[in-house]
Structure 1
Amino acid sequence: MDSTRRWTVPVLGAFTVGELFLAAPVPTTGVPGGAVAAPASTAAAAGTVYYVDSGAGRDSAAGTSEATAWRSLHRVNAAELRPGDTVRFRRGGDWRGTLRLRGRGTAAAPISAEPYGKGADPRITGSTACVVIAGMYVRVSGLRASRCQWAGFEVRGDHNELNGVHSDHNVTGVQFIGSHNTVRNSVLSGNNRMSVNDKGGDDDSGAFGVLLNGDDNLVVGNVIVDSYAQSEDYGTDGAAVEVYNGDRNRVARNVSRDNETFVELGARKGKTAEGNVFSNNVVTSSRKRGSFLITRGPGSPIGPVRGTVAVHNSVYLPARDTIGWSCGDGCSPAILKLRNNVIVVGGRIGEEDGKGGADEGGNVYRGRSPRFKLGPGSIIADPRFRSREDLHLSPGSPALGRGVKLGPEWFGGAALARDLTGARLPAAPAAGAYQH
């Protein structure tokens, strides 16, 4: 990732629809708790349950039993879903088009979409955005959005949740435009296509696992893999998580593999991307280039990005053309704070400019040419990861007990002040995403 790149709002349709891919195998390990599985029904007892079968259903049927299932997404989209209602899609089914969930549930009685039967996850494909949630308190679990022209899941409303979904081979796996939404326990794999990819202009964009354009959203416990694409402007591009015009989002306890960068942040002039928190994530890559975190100060056309916090992350990017973190264009403690991370790169450990530079401490680094001043408790040393893929700390690691005690505000709340496995942080925590 070119830390000097300029962003533009992604342009829909700047791609070749025919350049679609066969689905890659779904990784099901590495998420806290083991394999990703769709949860049990969240339907409220008073709601109506509707069934959808792409093979044997009929849109003229009642839809209220497996024997009278609807067939098409069009029929679902036309239904007036009420609080507590559930729409169940038959496993093994395939639908082409867009599922539009506009209903307004409540916290006590959400509207739900989920699978039923046996077989592969129900798959929706082929549209600009395959699943669009414009309502409130909508819960989607166990669905797959694949080979969509823009987003697998586009969440425009507020207080919605994606749980145990799979999104692959899109420009972006999940896009949050609304606020107070959640994606958890999901697999976002091979979202490796560009929406803008042209020579010149410094404007290529795409290959996002999660694109955060809204505020107060939560990205927790997911596996994000292969957000990486060829770029005319940058050589390669992509991000597990991209924040553009989004405030106070929390990204915690995710496993990131083989993405171009883990997170990049920016904002259009007149907009903000403030107070975003990244905690207890594990980031590895076998790619030839990559980075952990890229952010900007006031000198950037898409800055300043204020109040970014990165705590207790474990990063291993062994290739030479890599960077741990970059805080340019007038970096200061108001731009970036780093605590208790373990960052190992084959390239540049980190870089800052400005009068103050980033506010960092309690970190363990290994790599080449640090371009920043080490803060209190930070060291450059081998953290002794167990292996290239297992970033648990071996006995005798200098990261053990290295971390400083942090209050819940550093994590975006007490519920997120836990390591990748869910363990509580001790009084003398280890740096990195795993405690012992």
Structure 2
Amino acid sequence: MAVLASLLPAVPEAVPQAVPQAARTKAGTTYYVDSRSGDDAAAGTGARTAWKTLERVNAAELKPGDTIAFRRGSSFTAPLTLSASGTAARPITVKAYGSGALAKISGRAGECVLVKGDHWRVGGLQASGCRWAGFLVAGDHNVLAGVAADHNAAGVHVTASGSHNTIRGSVLTDNNRMSVNDKGGDNDSGAFGVLLNGDDNVVTGNTITGSYAHSKDYGADGAAVEIYNGDRNRVTHNTARDNETFTELGARKGRTATGNIFAFNVVTSSRGRGSFLVTRGPHHAVGPVLGTVAVHNSVYLPARHTIGWSCHDGCSPSILKLRNNVVVVGGESGWEDGKGADEAGSVYVGRSARFKLGPKSVMADPKFVSRTDLRLRPGSPALGRGVPLTASWFGGSEFAKDAAGKPLSATPDAGAYQR
């Protein structure tokens, strides 16, 4: 999948060179891995003495500040197990060196990359065709940046034990396999770009496409970002294309999925069905999902069997708050029951709508530049339509900028892009 590597942001390559022992001790040791010309009996501390297999990496006694550098163009059989822990000041790093496609890890025998430790910075890897997850993150304070995952049931899975992790600047494409797909019941599951079971994680600046698979229960299933039992996660500034759903939220009875934020995401699809956001009230088997916030998202789902957002089985303002979104669908622009969602400052288009428009919200053509470019043309009713919001609506001041990095004005535009 060389195309994935071409979409990832450039990252500095490791340059083998001699360094004084004192400096190497302070910075940590860099270990090199090359599947084509490496040797597990070698020292591993230079490009010419690289290790060959993941088994050798898994057995290494890594310490805070160490680095593992994988040669581009390498190919490995899963798993890569990252069990050691760094520190906030001295994380352990995984990165690429050389030229060509990202090093690829694949194999149905297990998850491809398991991040069990804390304070890792993982980049420069592609996880493809793994048993369940391309990247499984079970530790805390880890960062996946500039990775790729494809043809898994979940591109990235943050488990219930994983918190304060970040997934950013990565390409998650065609994670299109189901883990459960049987007749009857209401239990099919899979095709996740990102699955969040943990708390306080950030998913930002990623490109997530093709999270879509056939389902015997639902016809089709999948989500760019699925949250189940996860609290206070922030999902911002992502580009999502051709997924079944952008996000779906649920919680096992006795658990919560509270306070999750979706901001400045750009969602498009050419599929015949799909949705932006699905959440549940207390009368649903996986509800209630409390305190979901969706602000400044731009959505274009033109097919007939689509829905903008759905808040069902006991919707109320405590379940869902929406501000300053632009939602254009060929089906139902929004659906609520019960007391309804808390909604304002948005622009909608759809064949039908089953919700009450909030303050400043309108049904009108937002005049997107095109089907794939959701910036606003002059004269758009979304210009100046938004209501002013504090940084807490976006999950913090670091996220209070539009999809292109522009700051918000005192009279913001609705949608992910500002003038």
TM normalised by structure 2 equals 0.95
1:107 paired with 2:62, answer: no
1:287 paired with 2:271, answer: yes
- The corresponding residue for 1:92 is 73
1:166 paired with 2:139, answer: no
> For 2:40, which of 59, 66, 70 is the aligned residue?
59
- The corresponding residue for 1:321 is 305
Residue 13 of structure 2 contacts residue 97 of structure 2 at CA under 8 Å; is this kept in 1? no
In 1, distance between residues paired with 2:268 and 2:372? 7
- Deviations along 1:375-397, one digit per CA (max 9) or x if unpaired, are 00100000000000000000000
Q: How does 1:214-363 map to 2 (within 5 A)?
A: 214-354=198-338, 356-363=339-346
> For 1:116, which of 85, 91, 97 is the aligned residue?
97
Which is worse superposed, 305-314 or 59-68? 59-68
One-letter identity of the residue aligned with 2:317: P
Residue 38 of structure 1 contacts residue 165 of structure 1 at CA under 8 Å; is this kept in 2? no
One-letter identity of the residue aligned with 2:70: F
Point out where structure 2 has 5 or more consecutive residues left out of the alignment: 15-23
Distance 1:203 1:39, change over 3 A: farther
Distance 1:73 1:379, change over 3 A: same
Residue 122 of structure 2 contacts residue 145 of structure 2 at CA under 8 Å; is this kept in 1? yes
- The corresponding residue for 1:37 is 10
Shift of 1:39: 5.0
Residue 5 of structure 2 contacts residue 102 of structure 2 at CA under 8 Å; is this kept in 1? no
- Deviations along 1:110-139, one digit per CA (max 9) or x if unpaired, are 000111111110000004210000001001
1:142 paired with 2:124, answer: yes
Residue 280 of structure 2 contacts residue 289 of structure 2 at CA under 8 Å; is this kept in 1? yes
> For 1:366, which of 345, 349, 353 is the aligned residue?
349
One-letter identity of the residue aligned with 1:37: A
Identical counterparts, % of pairs = 66
- Deviations along 1:219-259, one digit per CA (max 9) or x if unpaired, are 00000000000111111110000000100000000000000
In 2, distance between residues paired with 1:418 and 1:203? 38
Distance 1:153 1:348, change over 3 A: same
> For 1:128, which of 91, 95, 110 is the aligned residue?
110
In 2, distance between residues paired with 1:205 and 1:404? 37
In 2, distance between residues paired with 1:40 and 1:425? 35
SS in 2 for 1:370: strand
Residue 39 of structure 2 contacts residue 49 of structure 2 at CA under 8 Å; is this kept in 1? yes
**Aligned residue pairs: how many?**
408
SS in 1 for 2:392: helix
Shift of 1:40: 5.7
Shift of 1:24: 8.1
Distance 1:44 1:247, change over 3 A: farther
Point out where structure 1 has 5 or more consecutive residues left out of the alignment: 1-22, 30-34
In 2, distance between residues paired with 1:343 and 1:27? 31
In 2, distance between residues paired with 1:40 and 1:59? 22
One-letter identity of the residue aligned with 1:104: S
> For 1:416, which of 376, 388, 399 is the aligned residue?
399
Shift of 1:61: 1.1
In 2, distance between residues paired with 1:330 and 1:28? 45
In 1, distance between residues paired with 2:192 and 2:5? 17
- Deviations along 1:401-429, one digit per CA (max 9) or x if unpaired, are 00011001100101001100111111111
One-letter identity of the residue aligned with 2:237: R
TM normalised by structure 1 equals 0.92
Shift of 1:107: 1.2
- Deviations along 1:8-46, one digit per CA (max 9) or x if unpaired, are xxxxxxxxxxxxxxx4843866xxxxx5333566x9952
- The corresponding residue for 1:72 is 53
Residue 202 of structure 1 contacts residue 233 of structure 1 at CA under 8 Å; is this kept in 2? yes
1:176 paired with 2:158, answer: yes
In 2, distance between residues paired with 1:321 and 1:37? 38
In 2, distance between residues paired with 1:45 and 1:421? 38
In 2, distance between residues paired with 1:49 and 1:141? 15
One-letter identity of the residue aligned with 2:104: R
One-letter identity of the residue aligned with 1:202: D
SS in 1 for 2:278: strand
One-letter identity of the residue aligned with 1:402: R
In 2, distance between residues paired with 1:369 and 1:294? 17
